[in-house]
Amino acid sequence: MPVTFDSTSASSATSVSAVTWSHVNGGDYLAVSPAYYVGLSTIIRSTTITFAGSPLTLISSRVYVEPAGLEVHQDLWVLKNPSTGTSTITITFTAAADIVAGAVSYAGVSTHSGYVASTGQSSIASATVVSASGDLVIDALCVPGSTVVSTVGAGQTLRYSRAHDGFAFNRHAASDEAGGASIIMSWGFASTRWGLIGLNLVSSAAGAPASLHLTLLGVQ
């Protein structure tokens, strides 16, 4: 069966070293994309992410510097076979931070492939992900400024777009698109610095286990 969308949730918190929220999961694989803004002399990292107490594994971490001089960190974490039903997502940091986070779950995924991370400064963010029919490509966008209007690319379905409550520091958004030989994930906005992560979710129809649960996160 092809990969399908399950559900989404989001949360934000101010000046905390850990954030938790509930997500209703009907899938069986979890990916997390934290993006957090810190001063150039400040070292803050996401150290653990769990879902229903099960730890995720860090796949990759990227950094860029936005115009105001803040470092923007964007990571990707994954977990196979998270528990189904309503459970708690917990993200822990090395120091207090202002956090905006979201979660999306999917079903029909056997594994992931085709990881791509891009950064730039322009009015269009894009990343090309190798995929296949029946798969699903997901992405996570991070841009500075909560008032930035992000327009999702053609063929993509917006899953959430959220700024930190009460702060104009960052916006985090996520979308997905049906797989093909090569999928371009893109977003449009007023020219600014940006970070974009793309990942292919391989369909369980290819012969492996099933499903994915995705968590996406932005941190100030």
Domain map (residue ranges) of the chain:
4-219
Q: How confident is the model at residue 146 (pLDDT cuts 50, 70, 90)?
A: low
Torsion sign over Cα 151, 61, 181, 208:
negative
- Is 51's pLDDT higher than 60? yes
Q: How confident is the model at residue 208 (pLDDT cuts 50, 70, 90)?
A: very low
Using the structure block, give the residue that is written with the tokens 């990969």.
3
- Is 107's pLDDT higher than 80? yes
Specify the amino acid at residue 24. Answer: V
- Is 22's pLDDT higher than 70? yes
How many Cα atoms are found within 13 Å in the side-chain-facing hemisphere of 125? 30
Higher-confidence residue of 43 and 117: namely 117
Biggest CA-to-CA distance, the chain: 48
Q: Tell me the pLDDT tens digit for each residue of 116-145.
A: 988 888 999 999 999 999 999 999 888 876
State the pLDDT at residue 220.
45
User: Residues 25, 208: contact at Cβ < 8 Å?
Assistant: no
pTM for the model: 0.88
Residue 39: enclosing H or E segment and its boundaries?
Answer: strand 29-39
Higher-confidence residue of 152 and 58: namely 152
Torsion sign over Cα 14, 123, 62, 58:
positive
Contacts (Cβ under 8 Å, ≥6 apart) of 101: 10, 11, 12, 19, 21, 34, 89, 91, 172, 215, 216, 217, 218, 219
How is residue 40 annotated by DSSP? T
- Is 211's pLDDT higher than 50? no
Residue 51: enclosing H or E segment and its boundaries?
Answer: strand 46-51
Cα distances (Å, whole numbers) of residue 68 to 170, 179, 193: 12, 36, 10
Beta strand spans in 108-181 (E):
109-130, 136-144, 151-152, 157-163, 170-178
